[in-house]
């Protein structure tokens, strides 16, 4: 996403009932990070405040977060909030917007400035149907598991973006590793890693 598109998206989010947070502090579960803005909560219907907060990502994943109130402000309870933070591997200076859609449901947009991306060769790129597609990556070897990663198609190349950092850290993958992708379904692939360059080679970009 280029800088103009990024600003346009943020401006659009702020036209609605929304708030934003930057995930750069040491304690992401601090009271400050979990507090709702006063003006936002004042603008919401009182009946909405009796509901749990539901955070909804583009990929369809969602997180329920209990809401509590002290004499000064409303805040999100740690358990649901911490799960959202962990699942999205937040904490590397991401800028995150939460846009209210009614009944305490919030669409979330995550703008990462330091995301590692993985470039995808043209041979694989032709199988990607849309500009933004969520892939499930299955791994082989000692790091067996599955991860959901967004793929972004640009004019010059396609890249794996949001979700890739979490996958790379948990597998783990190091900068310079040689990877092979095998497409097994339209939105699923198997990743194997070796030290030898292969035809379907992809390289982690720092």
The residue with greater pLDDT, 102 or 113, is 102
What pLDDT was estimated at residue 201?
45
What pLDDT was estimated at residue 13?
47
pLDDT tens digits, 179-188: 787 888 888 8
Q: Could you say which DSSP state residue 49 is in? A: G
pLDDT tens digits, 24-40: 867 898 988 999 998 88
How many other β-carbons are positioned within 10 Å of the β-carbon of residue 20?
15
pTM, whole model, 2 decimals?
0.53
pLDDT tens digits, 144-174: 788 888 887 665 556 677 777 778 778 777 7
Find the length of the chain.
206
Q: Are 106 and 17 in contact (CB under 8 A)?
A: no
Place of tokens 């979700």: 163
Distance CA 18, CA 98 (A): 5
Q: Is 66 helix (H, G, I), strand (E, B) or coil?
A: coil
Place of tokens 């009946």: 47
Is 3-111 a domain of CATH 1.10.10.10?
Answer: no
Beta strands in 36-195 (DSSP E): 53-56, 62-65, 67-69, 74-76, 94-102, 105-111, 117-120, 132-139, 145-153, 158-160, 178-185, 188-194
Equal fold, 3-111 vs 117-205:
yes
What are the residue ranges spanned by the domains of the chain? 3-111, 117-205
Is 117-205 a domain of CATH 3.40.50.11820?
Answer: no
């Amino acid at each position: 996403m280029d800088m103009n598109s990024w600003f346009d998206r943020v401006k659009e989010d702020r036209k609605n009932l929304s708030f934003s947070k930057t995930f750069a502090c040491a304690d992401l579960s601090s009271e400050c990070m979990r507090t709702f803005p006063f003006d936002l909560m004042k603008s919401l219907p009182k009946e909405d405040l009796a509901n749990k907060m539901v955070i909804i990502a583009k990929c369809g994943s969602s997180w329920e977060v209990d809401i509590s109130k002290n004499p000064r402000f409303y805040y999100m309870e740690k358990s649901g909030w911490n799960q959202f933070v962990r699942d999205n591997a937040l904490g590397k200076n991401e800028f995150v917007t939460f846009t209210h859609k009614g009944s305490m449901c919030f669409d979330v947009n995550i703008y990462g400035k330091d995301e590692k991306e993985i470039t995808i060769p043209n041979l694989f790129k032709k199988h990607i149907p849309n500009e933004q597609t969520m892939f499930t990556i299955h791994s082989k070897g000692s790091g067996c598991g599955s991860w959901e990663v967004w793929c972004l198609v640009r004019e010059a190349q396609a890249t794996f973006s949001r979700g890739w950092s979490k996958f790379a850290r948990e597998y783990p993958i190091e900068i310079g590793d040689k990877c092979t992708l095998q497409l097994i379904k339209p939105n699923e692939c198997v990743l194997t890693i070796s030290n030898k360059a292969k035809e379907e080679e992809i390289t982690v970009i720092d």
